[in-house]
Amino acid sequence: NSERVSEMLPSKSPLSTFRVMTISNASLKKIGEEEKDDFQELSVVFRAGREGALTDHDSILFPVSPSSGLLLPGTTNKNWYSTYSPFTPLRSNDVKLSRHPDTGNEVSGRRIEEIDRIVKVCKDAHFKALPRVPIVGWDVVLCSEEDVPGGICLLEVNLSCNFFRGVFDEDKWWRFVKEVIVEMEGRD
């Protein structure tokens, strides 16, 4: 974790990632006809790891505005990683947290100054590596310049991904579903 990210986390927290969801309008195009403008960000969530957790699957989920980098109040999703029983809730409580509960550090209201570069890395990766895949979730780490030139590391790609309770432009999403996903389903 970069120094700025570490300021928001407990001292014994896991690597904490940003889940960036990108969508591709190139999914309907012929191979080789893709353009950079075919790729858009849909959602960004900061997964702030919990004290003593091994991964950021145990985290507080803070939505991030992709246009401004503003961190919004967070929530949890720990129940998603539980063994199912009839008593396991299917939905997390709608708790809104402005502070990390393990430290009391204010997280909501901070800005991720690197948000434009984070989004660009993900959109470029979608364009270059997976242009025909309609929806991709990217796990991105902000780290020190000594660890990775530029301080942004594309850690993982998720092809079966979720929004991690992020906020997103619902009109953009439903347009995409109608224009791309429904069209793809109708193809032989």
DSSP per-residue string spanning 84-102: P-TTS-SS-----BSB-TT
Supply the mean pLDDT for the chain.
87
53-65 pLDDT per residue, tens: 999 888 999 999 9
Half-sphere CA count of 91, side-chain side, radius 13 A: 4
Q: How many secondary structure helices (H) and strands (E) does the chain include?
A: 4, 6
pLDDT of residue 167: 82
The yes-or-no verdict on residue 186 having pLDDT over 90 is: no
pLDDT of residue 164: 66
Distance CA 66, CA 110 (A): 13
Reported confidence tier of residue 50, pLDDT bands at 50, 70, 90: very high
pLDDT of residue 19: 96
Q: Which of 58-62, 73-77, 82-86 has the weakest average pLDDT?
A: 82-86
pLDDT of residue 10: 94
Distance CA 97, CA 105 (A): 11
Reported confidence tier of residue 170, pLDDT bands at 50, 70, 90: confident
* This prediction's pTM: 0.87
Distance CA 103, CA 170 (A): 33
89-103 pLDDT per residue, tens: 555 556 789 999 999
88-143 pLDDT per residue, tens: 555 555 678 999 999 999 999 999 999 999 999 999 999 999 999 999 999 999 99
Query: Which of 58, 44, 45 shows the shortest CA–CA distance to 13?
Result: 58
Return the number of other C-beta atoms located less than 10 Å from residue 56's C-beta: 25
pLDDT of residue 44: 96
